[in-house]
């Protein structure tokens, strides 16, 4: 399967395995409020029925935008640098832990960025561990926790050794 064929097949894999997905530009933070806007969009895609409240502020040292996402189940804090437009690693760590914080019993894994489907965008898939494993076996190039994305079979298949 080519990368173009894979891109066309992903909607079928998502539907077949009951996954929800969300994609977003990783260079999208310019002003106060942008982080909250991004989090609203992410939540509307992966947890559309979950009411949320968001509060965003500049950290006391003015180095970070800090967004606090509150649901009936949890409070999750997201941070990213105020002087860069790209999302910081801390943001992605909080995002990947979001299903656990919400007690959903689900996981949130990203597509392998090296296979060439996303450019500067991130693309995440949400479902149970079993759903995500089955989707990967069906061809969805996910990166699981602890994996080096450049060592996955999908990387070798689509990018080469």
What Cα–Cα distance (Å) separates residue 90 from each residue in 10, 86, 103, 156, 159? 28, 12, 20, 28, 28
All residues at 6 or more sequence positions from 25 whose CB lies less than 8 Å from its CB, including other chains = 120, 121
Domain that holds residue 107: 3-158
Q: Is the pLDDT of residue 158 over 80?
A: no
Rounded average pLDDT over 19-33: 95
Please enumerate, as own/partner, the contacts of 60-68 that have beta carbons within 8 Å and a separation of 24 or more. Answer: 64/88, 65/29, 65/32, 65/34, 65/35, 67/35, 67/36, 67/39
Confidence of residue 112 (pLDDT cuts 50, 70, 90): confident
Confidence of residue 160 (pLDDT cuts 50, 70, 90): low
Signed CA dihedral, 17, 145, 80, 85: sign only: negative
Number of separate domains in the chain: 1
């Amino acid at each position: 399967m080519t990368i173009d064929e894979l891109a066309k097949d992903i909607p079928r894999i998502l539907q077949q395995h009951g996954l929800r997905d969300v994609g977003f530009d990783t260079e999208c933070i310019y002003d106060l409020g942008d982080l909250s806007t991004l989090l609203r969009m992410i939540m509307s895609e992966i947890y559309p029925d979950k009411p949320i409240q968001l509060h965003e502020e500049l950290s006391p040292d003015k180095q970070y935008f800090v967004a606090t996402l509150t649901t009936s189940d949890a409070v999750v804090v997201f941070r990213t640098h105020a002087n860069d437009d790209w999302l910081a690693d801390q943001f992605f760590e909080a995002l990947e832990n979001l299903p656990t914080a919400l007690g959903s019993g689900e996981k949130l894994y990203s597509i392998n960025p090296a296979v060439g489907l996303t450019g500067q965008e991130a693309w995440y898939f949400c479902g149970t561990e079993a759903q995500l494993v089955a989707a990967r076996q069906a061809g969805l190039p996910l990166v699981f926790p602890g994996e080096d994305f450049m060592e996955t079979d999908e990387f070798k298949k689509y990018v080469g050794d």
